């Protein structure tokens, strides 16, 4: 078939279209315009869709199949544009049905009017086969009196439907204006549809419902509305920036704002989850210019519902949006939830050093050697040795007769008499008893004094000296990653259990998958963790679980962020909200170990429970007694 003889190229992205693919394909192959080409882009289907396409392609040479690794509908359509040879482009969905005359009627209409774009009406097609006219695809009563027309001739309604399946686009126009689909998991046709309407100098219509759009089926975009609602904001931001870059007049941009407000209201109503709704509201409010919002849209019904209407309810602010009341704690005056379960008594290195320096007078005079009980006792032992300018060694070195050096001066045999044996804490006394038993044979040779920096009120036996009484539950900066508290704690993964991905690795694609499977371990706790709470995307659960299993991480539950893409996660800015709400919901958890300092602070504020930042070893939101 010569290129000049192809009037229309039909581009159809296919991903697991199931039983709907066959009728969709047949409706294209049965078009009355026979000289079309059909480009089916198989986007990594796993349900047999690829095999069905191959069977049809073998029977009809007009069907060309392109196979891709899973890249999304936007990438599939863009690849179809590159491969298309027809004079006009038509983007059909793999689960819809076209009337037999669609291609012919719209092609002839576009040719006779020398237009850039042709628009037809469309029907909803439900699961029972019932058709209902879609009123917003083409409002015929609001069309300009003469055709072809352009956007300045028409009203705002032209921007109310950016779907591409009920339109034909002249290929030279699309390529010349550099219009492509935006790489989003949903709303990826908004940029293409809006920019094409804005750029088209000549638009004409066919006032018949020639396209049937399925609704109410699994996997259909209309059935998954709200799951990726932040995509509408990302799409809107991209379109606005493109309209400004292409030097469109402000009135065109204003019309786009009016269209996107209606889309936002719909997406908002379909969105589940209080924090997702709240974040989406904040994003849209930040996107829309305040002056334009009040000046042009305040009298329209959908806009009135979007206006903030704040009242106070105790410690909460109530926002009414689209008829729904949302109550959330005010950040600036959030009152943390205090309970005995969250009263962790935390001590860090700075507090340890201060405690030691403040209590040096309690130590015996003429200490010759400081011995640290591994592992936690080594830290305070060497701190004391530095403060006193005395030699120090570990318990094992002392028992085995190793002679520590004070700087470059070796200790002489017989010069050590007074020995201070140091551990960081005592609770049940079992570790202290064991240490005494180990050193019992040396009791006659040395004067042994046992010191524990922190003691428990009920410790038995108590050491000879202790500096401070700290009740349980307690946690120390030097051992919280290897502590039984893990059984009542939430742990982040990246930056805690493994190193964070590099910028290059964090591509939400093949490099990121490789990182997930082969991330370098940073710290693997010896205790079973109650819950892993990560802002990794839910779609990466198999790779995450495999890494955890291969690296011996023990845990009860794994909570992951259920959004579609990295871009949506960034747009929502929901990392801390997701972690805080999960942590707050887990009543038995009394600690969250977070990798990022800013998020650690936010999680503590929002949950009202303690959070330790692994990046800085700092505790936030601790309501236990800290001296």
**Is residue 228 one of the residues assigned to a domain?**
no
Judge if 77 and 201 occupy the same domain: yes
Judge if 327 and 422 occupy the same domain: no
pLDDT, average across residues 370-377: 92
Q: What is the CATH number of the domain that holds 579?
A: 3.40.50
Domain count, the chain: 4
Judge if 326 and 415 occupy the same domain: no
* Residue 113, number of CB atoms within 10 A of its CB: 16
The model's pLDDT over 413-431, given as tens digits with 9 standing for 90+, comes to: 668 899 999 999 998 888 8
Domain end position, chosen among 283, 305, 333: 333
Alpha-carbon distance of 619 to 611, in angstroms, equals 6
pLDDT, average across residues 210-230: 66
Report the pLDDT value the prediction gives residue 428, as an integer from 0 to 100: 83
**Is residue 166 one of the residues assigned to a domain?**
yes
Judge if 402 and 465 occupy the same domain: yes
Report the pLDDT value the prediction gives residue 582, as an integer from 0 to 100: 92
**Is residue 55 one of the residues assigned to a domain?**
yes
Judge if 351 and 395 occupy the same domain: yes
Which one, of 17, 71, 23, 74, lies nearest residue 49 by Cα? 17
Q: What is the dihedral of CA 475, 480, 486, 489, to 10 degrees?
A: 70
Indicate whether 471 pLDDT > 60: yes
**Is residue 237 one of the residues assigned to a domain?**
no
pLDDT over 90 percentage in the chain? 51
Judged by average pLDDT, the poorest of 34-48, 154-168, 194-208, 276-290 is: 276-290
Q: Given the structure tokens 């994003």, which residue do they identify?
A: 283
The model's pLDDT over 45-83, given as tens digits with 9 standing for 90+, comes to: 999 999 999 999 999 999 999 999 988 999 999 999 999
**If you average pLDDT over every residue of the chain, what do you get?**
83
Q: What is the residue range of 559's domain? A: 480-620
Judge if 87 and 160 occupy the same domain: yes
Judge if 258 and 324 occupy the same domain: yes
Q: What is the CATH number of the domain that holds 136?
A: 3.90.550.10
Query: Is the CB of residue 398 less than 8 Å from the CB of residue 427?
Result: no
Which one, of 386, 396, 388, 392, lies nearest residue 404 by Cα? 392
Strands (E), 443-602: 447-455, 465-469, 474-476, 489-491, 529-537, 555-561, 591-594
Judge if 43 and 141 occupy the same domain: yes
The model's pLDDT over 2-35, given as tens digits with 9 standing for 90+, comes to: 446 899 999 999 999 989 999 999 999 999 999 9
Domain end position, chosen among 333, 364, 391: 333
Query: Is the CB of residue 427 less than 8 Å from the CB of residue 458?
Result: no
pLDDT over 70 percentage in the chain? 83
**Is residue 546 one of the residues assigned to a domain?**
yes
The model's pLDDT over 504-530, given as tens digits with 9 standing for 90+, comes to: 898 888 999 999 999 999 988 888 999
pLDDT, average across residues 489-518: 92
Which one, of 483, 487, 470, lies nearest residue 531 by Cα? 487
**Is residue 226 one of the residues assigned to a domain?**
no
Report the pLDDT value the prediction gives residue 176, as an integer from 0 to 100: 96
**Is residue 234 one of the residues assigned to a domain?**
no
Q: What is the CATH number of the domain that holds 427?
A: 3.40.50.2020
Coil vs helix vs strand at 204: strand
Indicate whether 202 pLDDT > 70: yes
Domain end position, chosen among 189, 221, 253: 221
Judge if 303 and 350 occupy the same domain: no
**Is residue 216 one of the residues assigned to a domain?**
yes
Report the pLDDT value the prediction gives residue 322, as an integer from 0 to 100: 35
Judge if 181 and 280 occupy the same domain: no
User: pTM, whole model, 2 decimals?
Assistant: 0.54
Alpha-carbon distance of 590 to 341, in angstroms, equals 6
Q: Integer distance in angstroms from the first to the last C-alpha of the chain?
A: 85
Judge if 79 and 29 occupy the same domain: yes
Judge if 435 and 536 occupy the same domain: no
Question: What angle, 0 to 180 degrees and rounded to 10, lies between the N-to-C axes of helices 250-270 and 190-199?
Answer: 160
**Cα 232 to chain center, whole Å?**
16
Judged by average pLDDT, the poorest of 76-80, 329-333, 399-403, 607-611 is: 329-333
């Amino acid at each position: 078939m010569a290129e000049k003889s192809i009037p229309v190229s039909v581009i159809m992205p296919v991903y697991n279209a199931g039983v709907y693919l066959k009728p969709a394909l047949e409706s294209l192959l049965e078009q009355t315009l026979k000289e079309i080409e059909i480009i089916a882009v198989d986007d990594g289907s796993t349900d047999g869709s690829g095999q069905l396409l191959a069977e049809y392609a073998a029977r009809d040479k007009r069907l060309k199949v392109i196979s891709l690794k899973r890249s999304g509908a936007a990438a599939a359509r863009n690849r179809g544009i590159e491969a298309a040879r027809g004079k006009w482009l038509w983007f059909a969905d793999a689960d819809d049905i076209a009337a037999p005359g669609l291609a012919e009627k719209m092609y002839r209409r576009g040719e006779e009017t020398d237009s850039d774009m042709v628009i037809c009406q469309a029907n909803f097609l439900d699961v029972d086969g019932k058709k209902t006219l879609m009123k917003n695809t083409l409002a015929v009563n609001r069309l300009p009196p003469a055709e072809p027309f352009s956007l300045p001739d028409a009203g705002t309604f032209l921007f109310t439907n950016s779907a591409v399946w009920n339109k034909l686009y002249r290929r030279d126009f699309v390529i010349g204006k550099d219009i492509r689909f935006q790489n989003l998991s949903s709303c990826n046709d908004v940029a293409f549809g809006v920019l094409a309407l804005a750029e088209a100098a000549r638009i004409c219509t066919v006032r018949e419902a020639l396209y049937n759009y399925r609704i109410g089926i699994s996997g259909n975009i209309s059935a998954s509305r709200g799951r990726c609602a932040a995509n509408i904001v990302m799409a809107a931001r991209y379109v606005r920036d493109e309209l400004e870059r292409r030097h469109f007049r402000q009135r065109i941009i204003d019309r786009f704002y009016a269209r996107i407000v209606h889309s936002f209201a719909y997406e908002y109503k379909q969105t589940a989850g209080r924090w997702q709704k709240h974040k989406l509201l904040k994003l849209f409010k930040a996107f829309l210019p305040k002056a334009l919002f009040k000046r042009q849209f305040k009298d329209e019904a959908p806009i009135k519902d979007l206006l903030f209407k704040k009242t106070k309810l105790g410690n909460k602010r109530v926002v009414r949006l689209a008829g729904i009341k949302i109550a959330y704690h005010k950040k600036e005056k959030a009152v943390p939830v205090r309970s005995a379960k969250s009263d962790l008594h935390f001590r860090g290195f700075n507090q340890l050093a201060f405690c030691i320096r403040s209590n040096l007078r309690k130590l015996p005079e003429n200490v010759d050697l400081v011995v640290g009980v591994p592992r936690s006792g080594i830290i305070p032992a060497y701190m004391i040795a530095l403060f006193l300018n005395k030699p120090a060694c570990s318990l094992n070195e002392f028992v085995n007769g190793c002679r520590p050096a004070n700087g470059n001066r070796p200790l002489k045999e017989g010069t050590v008499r007074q020995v201070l044996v140091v551990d960081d804490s005592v609770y049940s006394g079992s570790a202290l008893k064991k240490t005494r038993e180990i050193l019992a044979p040396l009791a006659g040779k040395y004067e042994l004094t046992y010191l524990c920096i922190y003691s428990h009120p009920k410790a038995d036996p108590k050491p000879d000296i202790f500096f401070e009484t700290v009740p349980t539950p307690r946690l120390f900066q030097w051992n919280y990653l290897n502590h039984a508290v893990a059984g009542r704690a939430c742990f982040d993964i990246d930056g805690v259990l493994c190193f964070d991905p590099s910028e290059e690795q964090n591509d939400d694609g093949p490099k990121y998958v490789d990182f997930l499977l082969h991330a370098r371990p940073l710290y693997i706790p010896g205790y079973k963790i109650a819950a892993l709470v990560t802002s990794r995307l839910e779609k990466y659960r198999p790779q995450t679980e495999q890494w955890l299993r291969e690296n011996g991480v023990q845990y009860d539950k794994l909570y992951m962020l259920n959004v579609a893409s990295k871009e949506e996660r960034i747009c929502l800015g929901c990392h801390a909200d997701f972690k805080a709400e999960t942590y707050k919901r887990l009543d038995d958890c009394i600690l969250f170990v977070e990798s990022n300092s800013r998020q650690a602070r936010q999680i503590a504020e929002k949950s009202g429970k303690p959070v330790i930042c692994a990046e800085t070893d700092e505790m936030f939101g601790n309501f236990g007694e800290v001296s």
